[in-house]
């Protein structure tokens, strides 16, 4: 639909139109048009309520409803002409409505763009948050499946990127499943504060009209955790704070940081130096010059894109920090930060899940790395503790064992009992049994440990939980 090109009257207050550059500078239509569906749904709810309280006749409501549906179809079909001089999605739709239905001029009764934009954002976020929750679940499933497929694979666990102690590969992956679970929880928690209706707050001070806020909240399904309708409780707060967006972006930043760390592991693991994981051709790229290269660009971009998500959170916090009550136009700047956050995070979640589903573990290489007996030096110290030696002394004794082996250029498990006894008389043949990798992992039985039993139990627990959710 082509909207009439003549400038919309700027209210009786203005004698002159805006200066030439103003529309370009102040518009948000280039990006907030994506709120159109939610803007229409919000307007339908508001109109229904206006009819209920006697401001609109049934006929007027019918006109408005059908006009809004018509506009929805035009937008959907790409036939709607968005006008920059109409500033934003709210004005564009309302203006188009008044052209179709004269009653459209009554739609804005008791409403301001200030509560309208807060409403649209909350409606839009609810939908996106639902999708993101499912995308987190998919990534968790991909991690658990890769772990389960390689349940017996052991790798070194690292601190300071130096080999530390052996762990099951699945245990390492499950660490990310745990991180994502907390992210999921933060998302659910933030959802409670998004899912509150600001409609009826007006510009900042509500309305003298008997608006029925409960009706619109129920119509739009704004509910608290107990399923009761949820309304913002202060009109000034409702139009001016964006903490629900900040909270969501904080969730997103942390999730992106977790993804970035996973990406870093995948980058290391797919290098020739580690060679623990082979990413499939479909999720790697070649080099324009070096023919042998297979680069982990997806993981690298995931790591890189996390910077934007963190930056968006920072921008929002800075945007809000000096604002006087209540609505200030600065707030329009929240949208691109939020949209970019969602548009960055969602593909990262999806593509990483897909990449993990096609990744292969190089079990042979993992075994070689995990067979380094130094990984069990701590187990040797634990053995000494069980012989009654204080841990500090045991730590020192094993340090000597390592030094002797290093000096002789042999692995520590190849030192003879005689050599061990020379370091400390308590050593017996039994001590050398600690170097059996599978036994060492079977001994780790506590909840949270990387042992054979707890890891297998955790894999089962996650598979069940993720199948049910
Ligand atoms: N485009 C505006 C925004 O995104 C809508 C609200 C405008 N309100 C106003 N008083 N100018 O924040």
**Best of 87, 238, 329, 334 for a ligand 1 pocket test (most atoms within 8 Å of beta carbon):** 329
Q: Which of 89, 155, 122, 372 is nearest to 244 (CA)?
A: 122
**Is there a contact between 172 and 143 (Cβ–Cβ < 8 Å)?**
no
What does the pLDDT read at residue 229? Answer: 97
Please tell me if the CB atom of residue 117 comes closer than 6 angstroms to any atom of ligand 1.
Answer: yes
Indicate the pairing of strand 360-361 with strand 277-278.
antiparallel
Please tell me if the CB atom of residue 112 comes closer than 6 angstroms to any atom of ligand 1.
Answer: no
DSSP assigned state of 436? -
Please tell me if the CB atom of residue 331 comes closer than 6 angstroms to any atom of ligand 1.
Answer: yes
Residue nearest atom 12 in ligand 1 by C-alpha distance: 332
Q: Output the CA 146–ligand 1 centroid distance in Å.
A: 47
Please tell me if the CB atom of residue 88 comes closer than 6 angstroms to any atom of ligand 1.
Answer: yes
Buried b (16+ CB within 10 A) or exposed e, 46-80: bbbbbbeeebbeeebbebbbebbebbbeebeeeeb
Q: Which residues pair with 377 in a beta bridge?
A: none
331-366 tens-digit pLDDT:
999 999 999 999 999 999 999 999 999 999 999 999
**Is there a contact between 269 and 323 (Cβ–Cβ < 8 Å)?**
no
What does the alpha-carbon distance between residue 11 and residue 225 come to, in Å, rounded to a whole number?
42
Q: Find the DSSP H helices in 150-226.
A: 169-194, 213-219
- pLDDT > 70? residue 251: yes
pTM of the model as a whole: 0.95
What does the pLDDT read at residue 4? Answer: 67
Q: What is the mean pLDDT of residues 141-167?
A: 97
What does the pLDDT read at residue 332? Answer: 98
pLDDT band at 8 (very low <50, low <70, confident <90, very high): low
Q: Output the CA 108–ligand 1 centroid distance in Å.
A: 14
Instruction: Give the largest Cα separation in the chain, rounded.
Output: 101
Q: Output the CA 77–ligand 1 centroid distance in Å.
A: 26
Q: Output the CA 319–ligand 1 centroid distance in Å.
A: 15
**Is there a contact between 262 and 306 (Cβ–Cβ < 8 Å)?**
no
Please tell me if the CB atom of residue 28 comes closer than 6 angstroms to any atom of ligand 1.
Answer: yes
**Best of 36, 117, 122, 320 for a ligand 1 pocket test (most atoms within 8 Å of beta carbon):** 117
What does the pLDDT read at residue 319? Answer: 98
**Is there a contact between 345 and 134 (Cβ–Cβ < 8 Å)?**
no
**Is there a contact between 193 and 223 (Cβ–Cβ < 8 Å)?**
no
Give the number of the atom of ligand 1 that is nearest the alpha carbon of residue 203. Answer: 10
What does the pLDDT read at residue 19? Answer: 83
Other Cβ atoms within 10 Å of 223 Cβ, number: 16
Q: Output the CA 281–ligand 1 centroid distance in Å.
A: 47
**DSSP assignments along 96-161, one per residue:** HHHHH-GGGGGTTTT--HHHHHHHHHHHHHHHHHHHHHHHHHHHHHHHHHHHHHTTT-EEEEEETT
Please tell me if the CB atom of residue 332 comes closer than 6 angstroms to any atom of ligand 1.
Answer: yes
Q: Which residues pair with 285 in a beta bridge?
A: 295
255-300 tens-digit pLDDT:
999 999 999 999 999 999 999 999 999 998 887 888 887 899 999 9
The residue assigned the tokens 């780790």 is 444
Buried b (16+ CB within 10 A) or exposed e, 249-288: bbbbbbbbbbbbbbbebbbbbbeeebebbbbeeebbeeee
Residue nearest atom 3 in ligand 1 by C-alpha distance: 332
The residue assigned the tokens 């730590």 is 395
- pLDDT > 70? residue 170: yes
Q: Output the CA 162–ligand 1 centroid distance in Å.
A: 53
pLDDT band at 56 (very low <50, low <70, confident <90, very high): very high
Give the number of the atom of ligand 1 that is nearest the alpha carbon of residue 335. Answer: 4
What does the alpha-carbon distance between residue 375 and residue 159 come to, in Å, rounded to a whole number?
12
What does the alpha-carbon distance between residue 96 and residue 83 come to, in Å, rounded to a whole number?
10
- pLDDT > 70? residue 324: yes
What does the pLDDT read at residue 12? Answer: 79
Please tell me if the CB atom of residue 114 comes closer than 6 angstroms to any atom of ligand 1.
Answer: yes
Q: Which of 221, 312, 203 is nearest to 38 (CA)?
A: 221
Give the residue numbers marked as catalytic: 160, 287
- pLDDT > 70? residue 42: yes
Cis omega (within 30 of 0) on the bond before 326? yes
């Amino acid at each position: 639909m082509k909207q009439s090109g003549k400038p919309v009257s700027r209210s009786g207050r203005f004698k002159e139109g805006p200066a030439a550059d103003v529309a370009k500078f102040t518009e948000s239509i280039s990006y907030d048009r994506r709120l159109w569906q939610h803007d229409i749904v919000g307007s339908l709810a508001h109109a229904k309520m206006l009819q209920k309280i006697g401001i609109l006749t049934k006929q007027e409501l019918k006109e408005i409803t059908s006009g809004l549906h018509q506009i929805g179809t035009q937008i959907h079909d790409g036939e709607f002409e968005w006008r920059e001089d109409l500033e934003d999605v709210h004005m564009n739709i309302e203006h188009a409505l008044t052209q179709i239905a004269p009653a459209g001029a009554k739609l804005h009764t008791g409403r301001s763009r200030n509560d309208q934009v807060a409403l649209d954002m909350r409606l839009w976020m609810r939908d996106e948050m639902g999708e993101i929750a499912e995308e987190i679940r998919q990534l968790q499933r991909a991690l658990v499946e890769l772990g389960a497929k390689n349940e017996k694979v052991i790798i070194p666990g690292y601190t300071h990127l130096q080999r530390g102690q052996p762990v099951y590969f699945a245990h390492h992956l499950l660490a990310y499943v745990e991180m994502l679970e907390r992210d999921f929880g933060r998302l659910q928690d933030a959802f409670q504060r998004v899912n509150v209706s600001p409609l009826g707050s007006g510009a900042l001070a509500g309305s003298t009209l008997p608006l029925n806020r409960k009706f619109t909240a129920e119509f739009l399904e704004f509910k608290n955790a107990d399923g009761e309708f949820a309304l913002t409780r202060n009109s000034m707060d409702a139009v001016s704070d964006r903490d629900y967006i900040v909270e969501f972006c904080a969730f997103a930043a942390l999730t992106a940081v977790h993804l970035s760390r996973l990406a870093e592991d995948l980058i290391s693991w797919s290098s020739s130096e580690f060679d623990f994981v082979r990413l499939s051709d479909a999720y790697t790229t070649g080099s324009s010059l070096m023919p042998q290269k297979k680069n982990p660009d997806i993981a690298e971009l995931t790591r890189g894109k996390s910077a934007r998500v963190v930056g968006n959170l920072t921008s929002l916090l800075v945007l809000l920090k000096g604002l006087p009550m209540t609505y200030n136009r600065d707030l329009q700047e929240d949208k691109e930060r939020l949209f970019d956050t969602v548009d960055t995070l969602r593909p990262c979640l999806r593509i990483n899940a897909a990449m993990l589903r096609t990744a292969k573990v190089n079990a042979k290489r993992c075994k070689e790395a995990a067979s380094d007996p130094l990984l069990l030096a701590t187990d040797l110290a634990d053995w000494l503790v069980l012989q009654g030696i204080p841990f500090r002394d045991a730590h020192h004794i094993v340090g000597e064992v390592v030094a002797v082996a290093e000096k002789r250029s042999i692995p520590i498990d190849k030192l003879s009992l005689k050599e061990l006894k020379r370091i400390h008389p308590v050593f017996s043949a039994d001590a050398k049994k600690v170097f059996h990798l599978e036994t060492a992992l079977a001994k780790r039985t506590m909840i949270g440990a990387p042992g054979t039993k707890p890891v297998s139990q955790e894999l089962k627990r996650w598979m069940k939980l993720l199948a049910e959710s």
